[in-house]
Structure 1
Amino acid sequence: MNVLLTGQKAFGAAVFEMLQRMGCTVCAVSAPALREDGVREDRLRAAAERAGVPWIHPGTLRPETVPAGTDLILAAHSHDFVGRRTRMATTYGAIGYHPSLLPRHRGRDAVRWTIHMKDPLAGGTVYWLSERMDGGDIAAQDYVFVAPGETVDSLWREKLFPLGLTLLERTVKDIAAGVIRREPQDETYATWEPSWERPPANRPELDLIGTLPSGTRVSRKAARS
């Protein structure tokens, strides 16, 4: 299966290695050129460069930049919005990993809000990207307990990072075998929290989406914070 991987940092690089281990062909990678320090090369970009995989600058992922024959777009710690026309340029569409039990904690800082709101449970969700940011059908999901004294970093590194790899591997294997799992999110339980001191996600196909998904509510706690 030919996969276009969009993402960044350690998680993106780990997913890149996972796809190669599975025998998938990573036909292109969309990742920042540099890390947040502006000096060192982004880990996913570096992994793609070492493997000779074509690089797409983030923010320029469009139907015309998707390589011919791409079966699936996979978003791994990506902050770019993958628009409908871009998804339609592939065989199956696009999936992404979100570090929460969707539809809870939609938004860019799900792990931080999980800790901030003192949730006893956290989790990860692989979902189908759609015109609703973080609102697409669920392909795979599992939970973890949030231990007393858990931090944003420990919850991500020790629990949600490895859970994401497990769920993504399972989903990619299913799709390659022709097994497509899609369960609509229950909007009754949906929450949306704002980014924590970061700019909103880039949405190059803004004409195809709304500001917030229909039926999605903003958490009252988030609004007061």
Structure 2
Amino acid sequence: MLNIFIAGQKYFGQAVLKELAAMEGIKIVGVSAPCCGDRQDRLCREAVKRGLPVIPAGSLNASTLPEGLDLIISAHCHDFISPATIQKTKLGAIGYHPSLLPLHRGRDAVYWAIRMGNPVTGGTVYWLNNKVDGGPIAAQGYVFIRPGDSPFDLWRRDLMPMGIMLFRRVILDLLDGLIVAVPQDEKLATWEPSVGRPPLFRPDLPMIGPGPEGFTVRVNSKALTGNS
């Protein structure tokens, strides 16, 4: 059984919660999402409907995070997640980025993939660490960009469903006792600025450490057994 906490918002966060809650071997123990009176976020409403504890966005920290967690999932989360918070978990934290990392790091990856005329892009689930969008890759997939695509079109049609599918794939790996963590190639990394909004705030997230006891860490396609 994996005890999972979801930090996120909007339709994507809600969809990730629904998908994972339907999986065997998973227990969602809490959620962090925007919850502002009558204007509750979709993820917040879904959590309340299911009777899950909700930590309002902006107040997630080591003292408010539930005990006994295996994993934090970041699903469209804009909160700062401190090292003390992430280190309370057994496995760490994973997030989804809508690009073929290490390409198009930054908040507007979908926009820049289209703007730069890329014929192909994709999505990546990666382990959060101290480099924005720079953690080891857990799962990845690609899609074709169609003529006339807008960032919204590409996100809703292909990249959002891909994110849900990739989260599911990583969770199934973890249930099988496997941690996939392939380092990104920094020589290929690109970074583009945010469009029409403030620059990204760099969160102080720790690098994931050795694999926990009972799990196998796969790095560069080589399997290493974690003993800590």
> Is TM > 0.5 for Structure 1 vs Structure 2?
yes
Offset from partner CA, 1:95-124 (integer Å, 9 cap, x none): 001000001111111111111212111100
1:121 pairs with 2:120: yes
Q: Deviations over 1:3-61 (max 9, x none)?
A: 11011100000000011101321111111125xxx963210011011111111122222
Q: Cα offset for 1:192? A: 1.3
CA distance in 2 between partners of 1:110 and 1:39 (Å): 32
User: What does residue 76 of structure 2 align with?
Assistant: 77
**Judging changes above 3 Å, is the alpha-carbon distance between structure 1 residues 154 and 198 closer, same or farther for their aligned structure 2 residues?**
same
Deviates most, 95-104 or 80-89: 80-89
Report matched runs for 1:33-182 at 5 Å: 33-34=35-36, 40-182=39-181
In the TM superposition, residue 179 of structure 1 has moved relative to its aligned partner by: 0.5
Q: 1:193 to 1:53 in 2, by over 3 A?
A: same
**Alpha-carbon shift at residue 204 of structure 1 (Å):** 6.3
C-alpha distance 61-177 of structure 1, shift in aligned 2 (>3 A): same
Q: List gaps (5 residues or longer) in structure 1.
A: 210-225
Aligned residue type for 2:60? L
| CA distance in 2: counterparts of 1:86 and 1:128, whole angstroms | 15
Amino acid at match of 1:100: S
Deviation string for 1:162-206 (max 9, x for gaps)?
111111100011112210000000001111112212234455648
Indicate if the aligned counterparts of 2:103 and 2:189 stay in contact, CA closer than 8 A.
yes
TM-score (norm 1): 0.85
**Contact kept in structure 1, 2:130 and 2:204, CA below 8 Å:** no
Q: Which ranges in structure 2 are unaligned for 5 or more consecutive residues?
A: 208-228
Alpha carbons of structure 1 residues 201 and 4: separation in structure 2 relative to 1, 3 Å: farther
Q: Counterpart amino acid of 2:29?
A: C
- Matched AA of 2:45: A
Aligned length: 205
Which one is further off, 137-146 or 17-26? 17-26
Cα distance in 2 for partners of 1:8, 1:201 equals 17
Identity within the alignment, %: 52
SS of aligned partner of 2:111: helix
**In the alignment, residue 160 of structure 1 is paired with which amino acid?**
L
> Comparing both structures, which one devotes a greater share of its residues to strand?
2
Asked whether the equivalents of residues 101 and 142 of structure 1 are also in contact (C-alpha less than 8 Å), the reply is: yes
Contact 2:8 2:32 in 1 (8 A): yes
Which has the larger share of helix?
Answer: 1
RMSD between aligned residues: 1.9
